[in-house]
């Protein structure tokens, strides 16, 4: 499997965990803040187990094709996509037009950030 595909798959999986860790407790009105924090941390642990390897596989210093900035840009695109789906299907919240426009503008920024990827090879420190 190519390194970009593996990186993206790991980032998607990590984002699912992190989105649940950050927002699922909003549905749980009966949870105390301490319970919400504890459960969120338990959910977040697998996120780190997936996210750290994703960045290492994808980063040029470890044989991947991407810079740290490009990894972050990809991460943000994935985060918005996962969050949008989570918000609609889990939280049952309808996205407002201005939120959809804001997401679109951020995605346009992702496209700009990824333009020219691979034209120059950064030098590893």
pLDDT digits (tens, 9 = 90+) for 52-99: 999 999 999 999 999 999 999 999 999 999 999 999 999 999 999 999
Residue 109's alpha-carbon distances to 67, 81, 112, 115, in angstroms, are 16, 14, 5, 10
CA torsion, points 42, 47, 52, 57, in degrees to nearest 10? Answer: 150
Cβ neighbors of 114 (< 8 A, separation 6 or more) are 70, 73, 74
- Among 13, 1, 103, 80, smallest CA distance to 51 is for 13
Gyration radius of the chain over CA positions: 17
122 vs 2, which has greater pLDDT?
A: 2
Structural domain boundaries in the chain? 3-114
The pLDDT assigned to 123 comes to: 60
CA distance 1 to 6: 7
Phi, psi of 116 (to 5 degrees): 80, 10
pTM of the model: 0.85
Model pLDDT for residues 110-121, shown as the tens digit of each residue: 999 888 766 555
């Amino acid at each position: 499997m190519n390194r970009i595909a593996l990186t993206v798959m790991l980032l998607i999986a990590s984002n699912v965990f992190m989105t649940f860790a950050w927002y699922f407790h909003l549905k749980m009105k009966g949870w105390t803040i301490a319970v919400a924090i504890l459960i969120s941390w338990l959910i977040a642990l697998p996120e780190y187990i997936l996210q750290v390897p994703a960045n290492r596989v994808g980063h040029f210093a470890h044989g991947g094709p991407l810079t740290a900035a490009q990894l972050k840009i990809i991460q943000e695109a994935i985060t918005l996509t996962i969050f949008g789906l989570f918000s609609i299907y889990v939280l049952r919240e309808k996205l407002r037009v201005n939120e959809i426009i804001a997401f679109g503008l951020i995605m346009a920024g992702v496209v700009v950030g990824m333009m020219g990827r691979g034209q120059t090879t950064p030098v590893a420190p």
